[in-house]
């Protein structure tokens, strides 16, 4: 484990020197991260400027970030398929192609990050910026509304997913670089991780809270294995004991929701009815779909004939039109058909392969843990909510882009 941040006596002067040496692509990515959870239009602008600045710098220096790999083919096919889905939605289904812009944005940002050749130090700074610029608006939200709100992210369940990914970034940096960072950053990451974990629980999202517990236990187990110290074992045991005692005597409201809340998967649940509806929206155009984010534009009348043809009758109570399918897999199937869904699945399969190939050889293990946790969060929570989209996708692509970048170096 190498020392990644020299943040001690000359912290601020070192920071200024570091910032002075950065190019435009670094600053545009910092700006994107600074407004990502709170401002819609500036987020889009800075994302575009980051991609353009990377392209111009690569063109000028003739350094495109390494040779072409399978993941680059997936990125390219994802963009082409998304464009085809958007055109199909407009021409065939008379629907808008607005949802295609989101995929183009986060795929280009992730692709550019993976080829930007950021150093480990730059990646750490960028991750710290993402954490800092999430904590600040959360603090403002609590002070003014008493609730965890992120304006650009939107619904509380989506806020929970976004905060969980930021928590993953904070916890990964803390656990796997505990001895390699300065005291101020170490203390800041401890406080940030605690605040983010409590905030995830405070959103009352069962899926995000469940993943929070699993990922935290994984991190503790790995810390015990990594440091092999009785002090780490003792601190971990005390932490788990305190959490368990608190959960018994003063449980967070999300625990009561686990016990008394409505089921997310039973046949009588509203989300099951939404999934039933999404399945038949998918059958309207199984190949290219009806366009990403066009799900709310469809109603009972659009699926009724297909249901009657298959089931003989149409029971309106079994289907529920909604703003989104509450399932990332059905979102891609209904919006992008088998074409876009296949590329989506191929991407995550390749990311999993990259994690597996690097898990025993990469010195910066926080990339591995963070990426593994992102996979679990996106695909796990994706069973009951629409995850990999908008702000979630951009912040996930930050961490996955770092992983792919390291993979390019590792296999060059």
User: Model confidence over 205-258: pLDDT tens digits?
Assistant: 888 999 999 999 998 888 888 777 777 788 888 878 887 787 777 777 777 776
- The answer to whether 302 and 95 are in contact (CB under 8 A) is no
- Alpha carbons 70 and 343: distance in angstroms, whole number: 12
Could you say which residues of the chain have pLDDT below 50? 1-2, 5-7
In a domain, 119, yes or no: no
Q: What is the largest CA-CA distance in the chain?
A: 76
In a domain, 395, yes or no: yes
Nearest to 213 by CA among 387, 397, 380, 385: 380
The predicted pLDDT at position 269 comes to 76
Residues contacting 179, CB < 8 A, separation 6+? 1
In a domain, 205, yes or no: no
- What pLDDT, in 10s, does the model give residues 141-179? 989 888 888 888 878 889 999 999 999 999 999 988 877
What is the reported pTM? 0.91
Q: Please state whether 69 falls in left (phi above 0), alpha (psi between -120 and 50) or beta.
A: beta
The predicted pLDDT at position 362 comes to 61
- When divided into structural domains, the chain yields a total of 1
Alpha helices for 177-291 (secondary structure H): 183-202, 206-227, 230-249, 253-260, 270-284
The predicted pLDDT at position 2 comes to 46
- The answer to whether 405 and 113 are in contact (CB under 8 A) is yes
Nearest to 106 by CA among 23, 207, 36, 196: 36
The predicted pLDDT at position 265 comes to 63
In a domain, 318, yes or no: yes
In a domain, 391, yes or no: yes
In a domain, 361, yes or no: yes
Residue 271 lies in domain: 71-111+262-412
Q: What is the dihedral of CA 401, 404, 410, 412, to 10 degrees?
A: -110
Cβ atoms < 10 Å from Cβ of 331: 28
CA dist 5 to 50, 178, 213, 219, 262, Å? 24, 11, 28, 21, 46
- The answer to whether 50 and 109 are in contact (CB under 8 A) is yes
The predicted pLDDT at position 412 comes to 74
The predicted pLDDT at position 225 comes to 81
In a domain, 209, yes or no: no
- Alpha carbons 382 and 377: distance in angstroms, whole number: 8
In a domain, 222, yes or no: no
- Alpha carbons 398 and 385: distance in angstroms, whole number: 21
The pair of three-digit structure tokens given for residue 197, joined into one six-digit string:
């974990």
């Amino acid at each position: 484990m190498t020392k990644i941040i020299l943040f001690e006596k000359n912290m601020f002067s070192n920071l200024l020197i570091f910032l002075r040496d950065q190019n435009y692509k670094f600053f545009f990515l910092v700006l994107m991260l600074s407004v990502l959870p709170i401002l819609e239009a500036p987020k889009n602008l800075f994302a575009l400027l980051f991609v353009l600045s990377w392209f111009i710098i690569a063109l000028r220096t003739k350094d495109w970030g390494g040779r072409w790999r399978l993941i680059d083919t997936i990125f390219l096919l994802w963009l082409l398929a998304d464009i085809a889905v958007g055109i199909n939605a407009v021409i065939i289904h008379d629907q808008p192609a607005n949802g295609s812009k989101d995929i183009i944005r986060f795929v280009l940002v992730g692709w550019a990050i993976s080829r930007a050749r950021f150093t480990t130090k730059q990646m750490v700074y960028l991750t710290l910026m993402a954490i800092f610029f999430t904590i600040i608006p959360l603090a403002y939200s609590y002070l003014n509304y008493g609730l965890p709100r992120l304006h650009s992210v939107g619904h509380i369940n989506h806020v929970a997913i976004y905060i969980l990914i930021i928590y993953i970034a904070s916890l990964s940096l803390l656990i796997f670089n505990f001895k390699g960072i300065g005291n101020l950053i170490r203390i800041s990451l401890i406080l940030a991780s605690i605040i983010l974990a409590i905030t995830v629980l405070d959103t009352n999202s069962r899926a995000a809270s469940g993943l929070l517990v699993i990922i935290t236990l994984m991190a503790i187990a790995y810390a015990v294995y990594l440091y092999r110290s009785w002090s780490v074992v003792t601190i971990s045991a005390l932490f788990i004991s305190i959490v368990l005692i608190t959960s018994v005597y003063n449980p967070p409201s999300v625990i009561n929701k686990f016990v008394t809340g409505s089921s997310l998967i039973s046949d009588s649940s509203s989300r099951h009815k939404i999934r039933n509806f999404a399945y038949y929206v998918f059958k309207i155009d199984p190949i290219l779909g009806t366009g990403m984010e066009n799900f709310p534009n469809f109603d009972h009348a659009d699926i009724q004939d297909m249901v009657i043809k298959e089931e003989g009758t149409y029971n309106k109570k079994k289907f529920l039109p909604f703003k989104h399918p509450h399932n990332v897999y059905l979102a891609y199937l209904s919006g992008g058909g088998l074409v876009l869904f296949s590329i989506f699945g191929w991407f995550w399969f390749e990311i999993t392969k990259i994690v597996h190939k690097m898990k025993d050889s990469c010195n910066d293990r926080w990339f591995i843990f963070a990426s593994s946790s992102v996979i679990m969060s996106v695909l796990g929570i994706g069973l009951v909510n629409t995850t990999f989209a908008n702000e979630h996708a951009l912040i996930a692509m930050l961490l996955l882009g770092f992983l792919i970048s390291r993979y390019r170096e590792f296999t060059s």
